[in-house]
Structures are given as structure tokens and as C-alpha cells.
Amino acid sequence: MPAVTSGKVLVTGANGFVAAWVVDALLRGGYSVRATVRSESKSTHLRKVFASFGDKLEFAIVNDITKEGAFDNAVQGVDAIEHIASPCHLGGEDPQEYIAPAVNGTVRLLESARTFGSSVKRIVFTSSCGTVAEHGHTTPRVFSEADWNRSSLVEVQEKGHDASPLAKYRASKVMGERAAWDFFEKNKGGLSWDLVVLNPPLVYGPILHEVNSPDGLNASMDMWYRIVFKDMYDQKKLSTEGNECVDVRDLATAHVLAIQKQDAAGNRIIVSQGSIKWQDYVDAARKCGVKTSARDESYDPSNIKPVLVTYDSSKAIRLLGMKYRSTKQSVFDIIEDFKARGWI
């Protein structure tokens, strides 16, 4: 399909952490945006944030993404779709709290796009590195887009409600992404659009969506805030453990590039700036002049271990031309945001 360099883009779940920044990146890139939210009240904050863009931003109410026909109206007359709406929390007991909306919401959107989205040229599906990496390794391993996470599916199948929260979340992401690819392969002969999947790791950065207190932070930023500022983590692990990560604004840029780059079609693309230890976040925050978790000086540098799970993210550079902010810049921007909110 031809690249989508102008026109109107549908963004689902627009009042979420990632989606709000995708709306921002699209509007700043000259696109018009139709943003889905669950109710009219959920649009109030975004209307204020993006007031300067006037009628370039419109809203569509989709109160239940799992209902048949939920997106029938929303997909009409748009040139591309950024599907981001999906549960992103770790508080559910029943695995179906994660799996049902992740799978059914995806299928409902694609069904609507097949039937009513004749103008749609590309759909970008937001997945996760949780669909890529198997967990529980004791030796370092590099994962790529060729890999799929089966361990979380097995844990959820075997343990059900007793599976770990992360396993439930990751299993839902695997099943949601699989559903997208399966739908596309089954129907691609009759579709006006192609499919791109983005797989980010831990996403962090300043907040654009509506959050009134730290207690309302999304899962990834809640973890970041508590580790860096609230001494939640075993101090000895600050220097020995970490994650792959990406700034939310860089991920938003990737979403825009994913509709612009013709060669991205049909690809899973890992979007990650690389691995970082938690102590690096703490040190960067300290350089911004704020008090953070105290480092345990008794740690033994000889015990520092490499991050066990890392990703080959070369495809994002090759196909999208991705460039990433430095950790220092990202942390500085988070600090300034949290200061303005009175959280630190």
C-alpha cells in the first residue's frame, strides 16, 4: 500500500499514556486525528491540551471496544489507524480481564476496517516486547522479531487466576497480536490496508494524558516513579538489574513513521533505545537536583550482572529511521513534568 503522508488518522484509546503522545505527534506532523474515547467526559482533558489544533482533532465515542460493530463509524473516512487501546495494568485477577479486550477489541476494529474502512491504507497495531521475549532466563539472550513469548501463555494456561500479573498481561498481548496477524492473513486478499506491528519494551516519559496524582499513573510510569523516588526497590538491585526501554515520545514518533514508510508493511518492529540499569535512572534524576532513592554503598561491583533479556532493534532503525533521546534528556523532562505537578 502507498505510504500515508497526509490525511486523517484514527487513534484508539486516545486518552491513554502512549496514545495521547501519538495524537500529539500526528497533529504536529500535519495530520488530522479522530480519537476514540470511552465517553464524552474522557475527551475533556485532550480537548484542552490540543485546543490550538482546532478542528484538526475530533472525537468518536467507543464505550466498549469488544462489541460487534464498535468501530463501524469511527473507521469511516480515515486514511490510517493507530490501534493502541488495550488494558495496561497489573491488577486483574481473572486472565480474561486482560485477554478479552486485547483480543476482541482488536478483532472488532479489524472487522470494522474490513467492512467500512475503504479509505484505510495502513493499520499500525501497538503490541509489546512482552509478545517477543521468553522469561526466566539465567543467561543473557538477545531476542528479535522472529521470536514469540510462549512461556506466559503456558503459565496462564496452567495456573489461571494464580498466574503472575505480568504473565497475564503478556499473554493478553501475545494473543492480541496473534489475532491481528491471523485476521490479516485470512482476509488480506480483500483488504484495502496493510498491517504494521510495533513492539515496545518498558515505556517511560513525561505525562500528557489526564493524571491527577501519582496514584493514577499507568503501570510503567508507576513502577518508574516508585523505584526512583519511593525506595520501592531492593537497593542492591538498582545497580544490577534493569530493562530495555523507550521514551514515550520516541514511540509516538515511531507510530507516525510506521504509516509513512512503505517498506514497513507486514513487519513486526521492536522499538527500543536499549537496556538501562535502574541506578542509571536514579543517577540521572540526582543530576537534575532532586532527592531520589539512596544508593546502597555496600553493593559489590563484581556482582553486577548483565541485563538478561535484550532486543535486536535494528529493524526500527533500518525501516523507520528511528533515533532516540538520551536517558539524561528523558529523565530531565520527566523531572520537570513531575515538578510542575507538585509530585516531587
CA-closest candidate to residue 246, choices 200, 212, 308 = 200
Q: Cell digits for 242?
A: 534493569
Alpha carbon separation from 34 to 51, 73, 76 (Å, rounded):
14, 11, 10
Q: Cell digits for 48?
A: 484542552
Residue 217 maps to a domain:
no
Residue 34 maps to a domain:
yes
Residue 331 maps to a domain:
no
In tens, the pLDDT along 158-204 reads: 999 999 888 998 999 999 999 999 999 999 999 999 999 999 999 99
Residue 182 maps to a domain:
yes
CATH of the domain at 185: 3.40.50.720
pLDDT for 165: 87
Q: Which pTM was predicted? A: 0.94
- The confidence band for 146, taking pLDDT boundaries of 50, 70 and 90, is very high
pLDDT for 289: 82
- Say which range, 21-30, 140-149, 211-220, 226-235, has the weakest mean pLDDT: 226-235
Residue 2 maps to a domain:
no
| 3-class secondary-structure state, position 235 | helix
Query: Distance between CA 237 and CA 239 in Å, rounded?
Result: 5
Question: How many Cα atoms within 13 Å fall on the side-chain side of residue 42?
Answer: 16
Residue 226 maps to a domain:
no
Residue 227 maps to a domain:
no
Residues in a beta bridge with 83: 125
Average pLDDT, the chain: 91
pLDDT for 294: 52
Alpha carbon separation from 206 to 330, 339, 342 (Å, rounded):
8, 11, 14
Q: How many domains does the chain have?
A: 1
DSSP 77-116: T-SEEEE------S--SSTHHHHHHHHHHHHHHHHHHHHH
Residue 27 maps to a domain:
yes
Which residue range is the domain that position 33 belongs to?
Answer: 8-204+246-272+311-324
CB 182 within 8 A of CB 109: no
